[in-house]
Amino acid sequence: MDSTRTTDQRLTDLEVKASFTEDLLDQLNLTIYQQQQQIDRLVRQVGQLRQQMPEGGGAARNLRDELPPHY
């Protein structure tokens, strides 16, 4: 009888652990989904900002071009 009780307790413990693991997995899936949505929004925002940049805004500047006219 003691062996059966121990087996039942171990089975119950495993079921509890499986339940907690399933809950954790659901939470992680939701977190990943929310992060992917945020990444998608940020990618769209970066694209919009790049479109708003003036032409040549990303080009390297020459410091000689910025000297005042009296030099």
Query: pLDDT per residue over 18-65, tens digit each?
Result: 999 999 999 999 999 999 999 999 999 999 999 998 876 555 567 667
* Backbone dihedral region for residue 10 (phi beyond 0: left; psi -120 to 50: alpha; all else: beta): alpha
Enter the tokens of residue 10: 């171990």
Average pLDDT over residues 4-29: 97
pTM over 0.95: no
Return d(Cα 24, Cα 16) in angstroms, integer.
Answer: 12
